[in-house]
Amino acid sequence: MKFIISSQTLLKRLQLISGVITPNNALPILENFLFEVNEKKLILKSTDLDCTMETTLDVDAEENGSIAIDAKMIIEFLKAFPEQPLTFFINYENNTVKVNSEDGEYSFSFFDGSEFPKTPELSEEKSIKINSQIFLNSIAQTIFATGNDELRPVMSGLFCDVSSGNINFVATDAHKLVKHKIQEKIEENTSFILPKKPLNIIKNIFSDTNEEININYDKSNAIFAFDNITIYCRLVDGNYPNYEQVIPKDNPNELIISKQILLSALKKVMPLSNKSTNQVVFNIKGNSLDVTTIDTDINNSALSNIKTGLKYNGEDMKIAFNGKFLLEILFSLNCEELKIKLKTAAKAVTIEPNIDKNQTLALIMPIMISEN
């Protein structure tokens, strides 16, 4: 088998799909790219069994075939070449690839392409179309709130709840929860849990694209089809918690506050907080908010008083949060002003942008106030 391809085009496509590969894998074949030539098309694949990435290029080729090439080696090899055509000669008798360039000849071994895991196929397929920027924004608004507890795998993924022409993207780790709602013309009602890894890959490599994404799925797998790349992923199996049930609807105390002013106060006190609890305390009295922290182990304390850029309607309250979780929520919300609704020092608090037609709502659980 022989094919000719641009060195830089091949390098860029391999780098695109390399994010799914993990080093020191128990299955050596998973540390390779699959090169599959079919009808003058070169199909490149990478996988970790749970997630598979695929991209297709036009090549000058006369025969069909497939081989697996060490991923780290081929990327380092291609980086050394300026833009030029490379000719790949595949010798199946001794399992070697010979590459001819403008100034040299290079040879390395390959694995049998038939050993590479098969790409999953869908049964009883359903599909959703969504603009890439809307989808990427939905990921960015929520994915940070997913959990890492192996005993609760459903919380490690992003829940997609499709109903009545809306998609709710939901993530939670039991300490915080984020729900981001978008409107799409989708008639059916369905739900599934997307794993975190392929979503992070999508977020990182498609940040500048603005196109329609086709999401095809069944009970076990989902396929994301972009213009020049396809991502297959195994859905997280299990039943997602009833997120609507845990979101309070009747928190009577309402704090309207500038996001930047609150962020500034948290950034000042957080470096002095206890490193194991990350505790910050809100002491709200009238239209004044004290943001405090204390770490008696090393005699640290901080108080930042906010008297401007806020309006409070409710009972005076003292309530504590994990400051790290609170900062994550604030950084994710794209707004100038926040609406924070509270009930008691022990009940869940909601945080959302104080805007019309808001799409995002976050929930954070308070922590017990500690003087340590």
User: What secondary structure does DSSP assign to 116-184, as a single string?
Assistant: SPPPP--SS-EEEEEEHHHHHHHHHHHGGG----TT-GGGGSEEEEEETTEEEEEEE-SSEEEEEEEE-
Q: What is the pLDDT of residue 171?
A: 97
The rounded distance, in Å, linking the Cα atoms of 75 and 78 is: 5
Residue 338 near residue 355, CB atoms below 8 Å = no
Q: What is the pLDDT of residue 372?
A: 53
pLDDT at 371 over 70: no
Residue pLDDT, tens place only, 21-39: 988 888 899 999 999 999 8
Q: Any idea which residue has 């990350």 for tokens?
A: 278
Q: Quick check: do 2-115 and 126-241 share a fold?
A: yes
Residue pLDDT, tens place only, 270-328: 999 999 999 999 999 989 999 999 988 888 999 999 998 899 999 999 999 999 999 99
Mean pLDDT for the stretch of residues 105-118: 94
Q: What is the pLDDT of residue 237?
A: 93
Q: What is the pLDDT of residue 240?
A: 94
Q: What percent of the chain has pLDDT over 70?
A: 99
Q: What is the pLDDT of residue 366?
A: 96
- Number of neighbours of residue 343 by Cβ within 10 angstroms: 19
Q: What is the pLDDT of residue 269?
A: 95
Q: What is the pLDDT of residue 98?
A: 96
pLDDT at 117 over 60: yes
Q: What is the pLDDT of residue 161?
A: 93
Fold of 126-241: DNA Polymerase III; Chain A, domain 2 (3.10.150)
Mean pLDDT for the stretch of residues 77-106: 94
Q: What is the pLDDT of residue 124?
A: 81
Mean pLDDT for the stretch of residues 119-134: 87
Q: Which architecture, in CATH terms, is 247-364?
A: Roll (3.10)
Residue pLDDT, tens place only, 224-239: 988 788 999 999 999 9
pLDDT at 47 over 90: yes
Supply the CATH classification number for the domain 2-115: 3.10.150.10
Q: What is the pLDDT of residue 212?
A: 83
Domain boundaries, the chain: 2-115, 126-241, 247-364
Record the tokens describing residue 105, joined without a space: 């000849």
pTM (2 d.p.): 0.87
